[in-house]
Chains A and B, each alone.
Chain A
Amino acid sequence: MMSDNRVHEIIIELENVPSGIQNHPSPTQIMRDKPLANSAFSMVSSTSDIHVTDSLIFSHRNDKKHNQLLEFSTSLKEPISQTLRSPECLGIDTACTFHETVQGQKLITSLIPMTSRERIKTIRNQPRTMEEKRKLRNIVDKEKSKQSHHTLQLKCCAQYLNSISRGYRRSKNSLSDLLSSISLWQKALKVIGGKFGTSVLSYFNFLRWLLKFNIFSFALNFSFIIIPQLTVAERNTLQFTGLEFLTGAGYFTKTVMYYGFYTNSTIRHRSSGPSYDMQLAYIFTIGAWLIACFFSLLYSMAKYFRNSFINPHIYSRGIAKFIFCWDFTVTHEKAVKLKQKNLSTEIRENLSEILQENVKFTFRQQLACFSAHVAAWLVSAGVAAACCVAVYYLAEYNSEFLRTHRDPGAVLLLPFVVSCINLIVPRFYSMFGLVERYEMPRHEVYTLLIRNIFLKISVIGILCYSWLNIVALSDEECWETFIGQEIYRLLLMDFVFSLADSFLGEFLRRIIGMRFITSLGLQEFDIARNVLELIYAQTLVWIGIFFCPLLPLIQMITLFIMFYVKYISLMRNFQPPSKAWRASQMITVFIFLLFFPSFTGVLCTLAITVWRLKPSANCGPFRGVPLFIQSIYLWIDTLRKRSGYTWVVWIYQNLISSVHFFFILTIIVLIITYLYWQITEGRKVMIRLLHEQIINEGKDKMFLIEKLTKLQDMEKRAKPSTLILERRETEQQGPLHLGECDATPDLRFRRSVQEDNLKA
Chain B
Amino acid sequence: MGSKQTVFTHEQLEEYQDCTFFTRKEIMRLFYRYQDLAPQLVPLDYTSCPAVKVPYQLIGSMPELKDNPFRQRIAQVFSEDGDGHMTLDNFLDMFSVMSEMAPRDLKAYYAFKIYDFNNDDYICAWDLEQTVTRLTRGELSAEEVSLVCEKVLDEADGDHDGRLSLEDFQNMILRAPDFLSTFHIRI
Contact = CB atoms under 8 A, between A and B. Distances in A.
Interface stretch (A208-216, A231-239, A344-352, A417-425): A344-352
Interface in A718-745: 737-738, 740
A698 B161 contact: yes
A181 B182 CA distance: 24
B186 A193 contact: yes
B121 A582 contact: no
A674 B32 CA distance: 54
B4 interface: no
11 contacts: A20-B167, A81-B119, A198-B182, A314-B175, A318-B152, A319-B155, A320-B155, A328-B183, A344-B140, A695-B159, A737-B126
B117 to A, nearest CB: 10
B92 A130 contact: yes
A133 interface: yes
Interface string B103-143: 11110011101010011111010101001100111011000
Interface in A127-160: 127, 129-131, 133-134, 137-138
A21 B162 CA distance: 24
A307 interface: yes
Interface in B80-119: 80-82, 89-90, 92-93, 96, 98, 103-106, 109-111, 113, 115, 118-119
A330 B184 CA distance: 10
A341 interface: yes
B24 A30 contact: no
A406 interface: no
A33 interface: yes
B120 A78 contact: yes
Interface pairs A-B: 9 shortest CB-CB: A698-B159, A130-B89, A344-B139, A698-B160, A308-B177, A133-B19, A344-B136, A321-B176, A336-B67
A42 B121 CA distance: 21
A325 B176 contact: yes
A95 interface: no
B139 A326 contact: no
Nearest to B167: A20
A687 to B, nearest CB: 10
B15 A177 contact: no
Contacts of B57: none
Interface string B25-68: 11000000000000000000000000000000000000111111
A346 to B, nearest CB: 10
B7 interface: no
Given A177-B23, A344-B136, A324 B81 contact: no
A702 interface: yes
Given A344-B136, A344-B139, A319 B184 contact: no
A269 interface: no
A351 B151 contact: yes
Contacts of B122: 738
Given A315-B175, A322-B135, A584-B181, 9 more contacts: A120-B18, A198-B184, A321-B175, A326-B70, A329-B184, A340-B139, A344-B140, A583-B181, A701-B159
Contacts of B25: 177, 180-181
A24 interface: yes
A321 B180 CA distance: 12
Nearest to B62: A331
B67 A332 contact: yes
A120 B101 CA distance: 14
A298 interface: no
Nearest to A172: B23
Majority secondary structure of chain A interface residues (helix, strand, loop or mixed): helix
B144 A691 contact: no
A180 B68 CA distance: 26
A331 B68 contact: yes
A515 interface: no
Interface string B162-180: 1101110110111111111
Contact of B185 (A129, A321, A328): A328
A124 B18 contact: yes
Given A21-B105, A319-B148, A340-B69, A326 B140 contact: no
B17 interface: yes
B18 A123 contact: yes
Contacts of A699: 160
B186 A190 contact: yes
B17 A137 contact: no
A137 B160 contact: no
B68 to A, nearest CB: 6
A323 B131 contact: yes
A124 B182 contact: no
A698 B120 contact: no
Contacts of A198: 178, 181-182, 184
B109 A25 contact: yes
Contacts of A697: 159
A701 B161 contact: yes
A190 B63 CA distance: 11
Contacts of B152: 318-320, 323
B136 A318 contact: no
Nearest to A70: B165
A583 B176 CA distance: 11
Contacts of B121: 27, 30-31, 77, 81
B24 A351 contact: no
Given A78-B120, A124-B19, A129 B90 contact: yes
A173 interface: yes
B76 to A, nearest CB: 12
Contacts of A193: 186
Interface string A605-631: 000000000000000000000000000
Contacts of A390: none
Given A21-B105, A331-B63, A351-B144, A340 B136 contact: yes
A328 B98 contact: yes
B78 to A, nearest CB: 9
Nearest to A327: B182
Contacts of B175: 311, 314-316, 321
Contacts of A176: 23
B75 interface: no
Question: Quick one: which of B18, B25, B90 has the most chain A CB within 10 A?
Answer: B18
Contacts of B82: 85
Interface in A648-698: 691, 694-695, 697-698
Contacts of A133: 19
Contact of B90 (A130, A347, A702): A130
